């Protein structure tokens, strides 16, 4: 346990947590920021210094710095950010890389929000970005983790910009689904309208109908080489000997895809008819 109260082995996760608390406007964020400030000012990050850790700490503290109304805390954060920024810049290489190529993305993000705490001539941003682009063309960033650190920088953004994202509402698809049986037992026609997310397949429609009315729209499937095949609806099973099956149509047109691949459109009429072949 460090003198700050933060476990040493969880230093980086503590920084991430502080950033999230800040972006969520949590009441606990200032307590977390105080711990990060102490860790930076007591030089606890320097013994096993990594650009990644310092960059995330800088992003977290920069977020708190912009949000807090506590002047005393702001002054302490400014001191910590000057120290962290200098430490990150000390890891610059002649090529523009900061630390190593994989830590450079986070370093760019951090330096872009802490420029006020360092001299402008200490970092050649253009050179670093050109090196990152060169490595990107060479395929250096080949997994989601490294790509996610580089992309914000190339767009002139940082993880802190997540606060400003406006997520558009998801417009659900409305599908009209009817099951029809006039072959066996007491005939019936049961219609229902369900809503499913965009890009849903027909099987999702059947599942939604089943959730809405288990009694009328229960169904069973069987796995085949062509995907799931519906073998029973409303307790009525297809029978190979009697040559009966459940046929699916869009309006009056038979579907040419299975329930696991066909994607209904908005306000489409899907019909399942117990039929003979």
The pLDDT of residue 1 is 32
On whether both 149 and 222 belong to a single domain, the answer is no
Is residue 13 in a domain? yes
**Exposed, middle or buried, 101 (CB in 10 Å: 0-12/13-18/19+)?**
buried
List residues forming the annotated binding site for cyanocob(III)alamin: 52, 100, 149, 255, 277
On whether both 17 and 127 belong to a single domain, the answer is yes
The pLDDT of residue 115 is 86
Contacts of 216 (CB under 8 A, 6+ apart): 179, 190, 192, 234
CATH of the domain at 253: 2.170.130.30
**pLDDT tens-digit map of 159-194:** 999 887 777 777 899 999 999 999 999 999 999 999
> What range does the domain containing 63 cover?
8-164
On whether both 129 and 43 belong to a single domain, the answer is yes
What is the rounded distance in angstroms from the CA atom of residue 237 to the CA atom of residue 244?
A: 8
List residues forming the annotated binding site: 52, 100, 149, 255, 277
- What DSSP letter does each residue of 16-35 carry, written as one string? HHHHHHHHTT-TTHHHHHHH
On whether both 33 and 127 belong to a single domain, the answer is yes
The pLDDT of residue 235 is 95
The pLDDT of residue 42 is 74
Is residue 48 in a domain? yes
The three state secondary structure string of 65-104 is HHHCCCHHHHHHHHHHHHHHHHHHHCCECCCCCECCCCCH
On whether both 155 and 180 belong to a single domain, the answer is no
CATH of the domain at 109: 1.50.10.20
**pLDDT tens-digit map of 220-266:** 999 887 789 999 999 999 999 999 999 999 999 999 999 999 999 99
The pLDDT of residue 94 is 94
The pLDDT of residue 6 is 41
Give the residues of the chain that fall short of pLDDT 70: 1-12, 43-48
On whether both 248 and 152 belong to a single domain, the answer is no
**Pairing state of beta strands 253-254 and 236-237?**
unpaired
On whether both 231 and 144 belong to a single domain, the answer is no
Is 103 in contact with 52 (CB distance < 8 Å)? Answer: yes
State the total domains in the chain.
Answer: 2
On whether both 12 and 98 belong to a single domain, the answer is yes
Helix (H, G, I), strand (E, B) or coil at 207: helix
On whether both 181 and 249 belong to a single domain, the answer is yes
The pLDDT of residue 47 is 57
The pLDDT of residue 48 is 67
Token duo for residue 273: 């008819």
Last residue in a domain, options 164, 188, 206 = 164
The pTM for the full model equals 0.59
């Amino acid at each position: 346990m460090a003198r700050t109260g933060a476990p040493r082995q969880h230093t980086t996760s503590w920084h991430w947590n502080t950033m999230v608390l800040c972006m969520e406007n949590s009441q606990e964020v200032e307590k977390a920021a105080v711990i990060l400030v102490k860790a930076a000012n007591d030089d606890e990050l320097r013994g096993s210094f990594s650009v990644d850790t310092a960059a995330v700490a800088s992003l977290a503290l920069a977020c708190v710095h912009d949000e807090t109304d506590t002047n005393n805390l702001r002054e302490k954060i400014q001191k910590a950010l000057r120290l962290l920024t200098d430490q990150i810049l000390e890891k610059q290489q002649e090529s523009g890389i900061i630390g190593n190529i994989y830590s450079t993305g986070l370093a760019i993000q951090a330096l872009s929000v802490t420029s006020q705490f360092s001299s402008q001539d200490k970092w050649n941003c253009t050179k670093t970005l050109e090196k990152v682009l060169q490595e990107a063309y060479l395929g250096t960033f080949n997994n989601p983790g490294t790509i996610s650190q580089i992309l914000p920088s190339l767009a002139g953004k940082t993880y802190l910009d997540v606060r400003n994202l406006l997520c558009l509402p998801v417009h659900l698809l409305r599908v009209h689904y009817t099951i029809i049986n006039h072959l066996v037992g007491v005939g019936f026609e049961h219609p229902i309208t369900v809503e499913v997310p965009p890009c849903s397949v027909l099987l999702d429609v059947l599942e939604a109908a089943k959730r809405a009315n288990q009694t009328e729209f229960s169904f069973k499937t069987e796995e085949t080489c062509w995907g799931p095949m519906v073998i029973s609806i409303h307790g009525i099973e297809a029978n190979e000997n009697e040559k009966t099956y459940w046929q699916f149509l869009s309006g009056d047109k038979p579907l040419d895809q299975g329930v696991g691949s066909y994607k209904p459109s908005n306000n489409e009429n899907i019909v399942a008819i117990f039929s003979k072949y």
